[in-house]
Amino acid sequence: MDLDLLQSTLDAEGQPAYRARQAWAWQARGVRDWDAMSDLPEALRERLSDAVPFSTLTLEHEATSQDGTVKALFRTHDGRPVEAVLMRYKDGRHSLCVSSQSGCPLTCTFCATGAMKFGRNLTAWEIVDQALHFRRMSKVDHCVFMGMGEPMMNLDHVLAACRRLPDLGITNRRTAISTVGWLPGIDALAEQDMPLRLALSLHAPDEDLRSRIMPVNERWPMEDVLAACERYYEAKRRMIFIEYVMLGGVNDRYEQALALTKLLDRKKFKVNLIPYNPTDSIYDGSTREAIGAFKAVLDKAGFNATVRLTRGRDIDAACGQLAAKALAG
Ligand code: SAH
């Protein structure tokens, strides 16, 4: 729900300030319509339901994977596609993966979103409404900005959304902002007050290879980005998560694992190896053996690396697959 529109509608009616808070409290609890907001006068609820759409997004398609992962495709009021995913883990965690932009202006060569046309930044409410959609079907307790888009290019709206998420059950500590290494965004994130987790999509242990995989490295070179991450660590005292997507024969060799251990301080960085999910790109995923060998090098150097569980592959909900296929179809 566009809470600015709600506020201005209530203000125009001369309603007391607590009305907006009441409506938001119901939303955050996952109610499905205005009627459920029983402490708002009925006539007011009716007027609001005409004036303020319950969500800024319209659900266009939803799919549930065999592993319980749910992917939703929405449209904004101006027809932009937006995708979000709910992952339910055996340990009870319910984690959301949300989009910060419709499409993405960056062109990482392995990523399906990078291959689609960039739409625009999402508003804070369009981000919150992705989370509210899933809140209406289950509890939610973790959130990662790893859907479509580069959150650091839309940081104000991302942060405004993060201020609302705790009301849904997602604390700032359990919220991660993932970036290609958009340097000014990393420094800006270090300066704001929320204890958000920073995740960096690194994907290569040297500048040349990284530039080939991620053209944005030409603009913000890895060396400078890692220095900004260290500043973030100093400011927040929270480990930075390194995402490293495993591309067969490209970035998964022994020497590259070794280079990574030299590049990163294991007290400040936690490495998460991501099995590559096939999209229409030039890459193949690393074999299971290659991933295991790569991890063994990191572990031997004391890194305690993790390999990301792949979820929702059967419904194209896995990392990097969020590219609104419905657009093309
Ligand atoms: N732009 C931000 C947020 C998007 S996150 C960023 O790049 O960090 C998307 C994460 O999924 C990134 O780590 C990205 O590298 C990874 N990813 C993209 N395509 C993928 C694919 N096909 N398989 C596995 N991971 C992928």
Minimum CA distance residue for ligand 1 atom 13: 201
Minimum CA distance residue for ligand 1 atom 17: 320
pLDDT score for 51: 97
Report the nearest atom of ligand 1 relative to the CA of 279.
Answer: 22
Query: Which tens digits make up the pLDDT trace of 282-325?
Result: 999 999 999 999 999 999 999 989 999 887 777 777 666 666 66
CATH number of the domain to which 46 belongs: 1.10.150
pLDDT score for 324: 62
Domain hosting 15: range is: 1-54
pLDDT score for 265: 97
Residue 279, ligand 1, Cβ within 6 A? yes
> Which of 98, 104, 110, 246 has most ligand 1 atoms within 8 Å of its beta carbon, as the pocket-test mutant?
110
pLDDT score for 177: 98
Q: Which of 124, 80, 85 is nearest to 104 (CA)?
A: 80
pLDDT score for 328: 41
* 12 and 77 belong to one structural domain: no
Q: Is 154 a member of any domain?
A: yes
pLDDT score for 320: 60
- Regions in the chain scoring below 50 on pLDDT: 327-329
> Which of 145, 319, 322 has most ligand 1 atoms within 8 Å of its beta carbon, as the pocket-test mutant?
319
Q: How many domains does the chain have?
A: 2
pLDDT score for 329: 36
* 103 and 24 belong to one structural domain: no
Q: At what angle do helices 288-300 and 254-263 cross, to 10 degrees?
A: 40
Measured over the CA atoms of residue 55, residue 162, residue 112 and residue 63, the dihedral's sign is: negative
Report the nearest atom of ligand 1 relative to the CA of 277.
Answer: 23
Strand ranges for the chain from DSSP E: 58-64, 70-75, 81-88, 94-97, 101-102, 120-121, 142-145, 175-179, 197-201, 240-246, 269-275, 306-307
pLDDT score for 309: 83
Q: Which DSSP symbol is given to 247?
A: B
The reply to whether the predicted model has a pTM over 0.85 is: yes
Q: What are phi and psi of 231, to 5 degrees?
A: -60, -40
